[in-house]
Structure 1
Amino acid sequence: MPVAQVPGAHEGQTRAAVVQLLLEEGPITATEIGVRLGLSAAGVRRHLDALIDTGEAQAAPAPRREGRGRGRPARRFQLTAVGRARLGHSYDDLASAAMRHLREVGGEAAVEDFARRRVQSLLGGVAPVESGSGAEIEDTAEDIAAAFTDAGFAASTRRVGTGVQICQHHCPVSHVAEQFPELCEAELEAFTRMLGTHVQRLATIANGDSFCTTHVPVPPSDTRKT
C-alpha cells in the first residue's frame, strides 16, 4: 500500500542524513545529531543503534580529559570502515586491475606519475601560496578541502593549536589506495607544494583510520583572526 511505504521511505532518508552527518562531522554526539536534523533523542538512538548493529557506526574512543571536570563526557559516534564502504567505491576492481597493469607495463615510475597527474587534476583550480603568510596558508588549505570535496572526499579544515588540519572524511579510492600507497603519497607532495610548507599526514582511511588527516603548520603570530 502506498501509505505504508511513505514512513519507510522517510525512515530511509533520515538514516541517510544521519550517515552523512557521521561522515562529515564525526565523531559527533547524539545530541548534536538531534539538533542538526531535528530528531528526538529516541529517534537518534534508534538510528544509531541500527547502524551500530550492522557494523556501520561505532562509538569513538573517549578523548583524554585534561584537568578535572564534572560528569562523564558525552559519547561521540563515527562511521566505521564498513559504513564508509557502503557509501560506494565505484569500479574498485576495474581501477585496481588498471593500476596493476600500469605497474607491469611502466613500472613504479608510471604509477607515481599517474598519481601525481591525478592529484594535479583535482587541484587544478587552486592557487598555490605565494606570500607564505598564515592567512594565505589557511585560505589555501580551505581551497584544497573544497576541491577534494567536489571530487567526493567530503573534506574540511579545522584549526588545531597554531596550525590547521585538512580532514578527508571519505575516500572514494581508499580500496585502491590500500594497494597503491602512491596515491596518498602524491596527495601529500601536492599539499606541501601548494601550501609552501612541510605538512604531516597523521592518519589515512587506507590504513584503517576513521578519516585522512593532514596537519599544516601556520606561523603562530600570523594565524588568521576569527
Structure 2
Amino acid sequence: MNTSDRILFLLKTRGPKTAQQLAGMVELTSMGARRHLEAAEEKGLVAFEDVAEKVGRPSRRWLLTDAGHARFPDRHADLTVALIDQVKALFGDEAMDRLIVSREAASEAFYRDTVGTAGALPERVAALAQARDVEGYMAEVETQPDGSLLLVENHCPICAAARVCQNFCRSELEVFRRVLGPGCSVERTEHQLSGARRCAYRIVPV
C-alpha cells in the first residue's frame, strides 16, 4: 500500500484527522502529508473542515468524500440495489423478508463456526470481528475503560443494500446477539445509516 492509499485508509478507519496527525501515523513531515492530501483533494477523494479550538487558530481536519469512501469495496452496490428492487416488484416485500432470513441463517452458521472454538467473551468478540473483517467490514475490537467491548466496523460493504432495505441491519444485530450468546448484551451505538462514519456495537458481560 503506497503512502497516499495509507492516508485514505487511515481516514476511513480513524475518521477526520489533521495533516500533522496523519504525518505522525505514516512517518512523513506535516508538509509531506499536506501534499498527499492536496493531491487527493484535487481528485475529489478528500475534503477538509476547519474546526474551532478553545485556544488559537482553528484546526483543519481532513475527511473522506463520498468518492473517497467509494474507493473501498461495496460488493457491487448498483447491481445489489437493482436486484432488491426487482425482487420487491416481482414477488413483494414478503419475498424480500424470506431472502433476508435465509442470508441471516447462512451468516449465523458461518459466524458460529468461527466463534465456536473461542473461549471467554473477548476471544469470541475478536473471532467475530475477524470473520466480519474477512467479509469486508474493516472490523476491529476496542476495549473500553469500563471493561465493555466495542466491535467497530469502519466500512459497510452492503451499505447500498441496507439503505433500501434496513432489515439487513436489524438482521445483523440479532445474529450478533445469538452468536455471542446469552452471557452478554449487544447494542448498536453508532450506525452509518444514521449519519455516523462507522457502525459500532457495545458488548457488555451480564
Counterpart in the other structure of 1:116: 104
- Equivalent runs, 1:1-226 vs 2, <5 Å: 13-52=2-41, 56-58=45-47, 77-103=62-88, 104-105=90-91, 106-120=94-108, 122-128=110-116, 136-162=120-146, 163-196=148-181, 197-218=184-205
| Cα distance in structure 1, aligned partners of 2:125 and 2:56 | 36
Moved more, 69-78 or 197-206: 69-78
Query: What is the TM-score when the length of structure 1 is the normalising length?
Result: 0.72
What secondary structure is seen at the aligned counterpart in 2 of 1:213? strand
Taking a change above 3 Å as real, the CA distance of residues 114 and 59 of structure 1, as seen in their structure-2 partners, is farther
Runs of 5+ consecutive residues of structure 1 not aligned to the other structure? 1-11, 220-226
Structure 2: which 5+ runs fail to align?
none
Structure 1 residue 83 displacement after superposition: 1.8
Kindly provide the amino acid, as one letter, of the partner of residue 44 in structure 1: A
Judged with a 3 Å threshold, the aligned counterparts in structure 2 of structure 1 residues 164 and 40 are, in CA distance, closer, same or farther, namely same
Q: Among the aligned pairs, what percent are the same residue?
A: 24
Q: Whole-Å Cα distance in 2 between the matches of residues 73 and 145 of structure 1?
A: 36
TM-score (norm: length of structure 2): 0.78
CA RMSD in angstroms, aligned pairs only: 3.3
Q: Which amino acid aligns with 1:139?
A: E
Hey, what's the Cα distance between the residues in 2 that align with 1:59 and 1:159? Answer: 30
* Partner AA of 2:129 in structure 1: A
Q: Structure 1's 129 and 13: CA in aligned 2 closer, same or farther, altered over 3 A? A: closer
Asked if the contact 1:115/1:183 (under 8 Å) is kept, the reply is no
Q: When you count strand as a share of all residues, which structure comes out higher? A: 2
Change (3 A) 1:159 1:190: same
Cα distance in structure 2, aligned partners of 1:215 and 1:87: 25
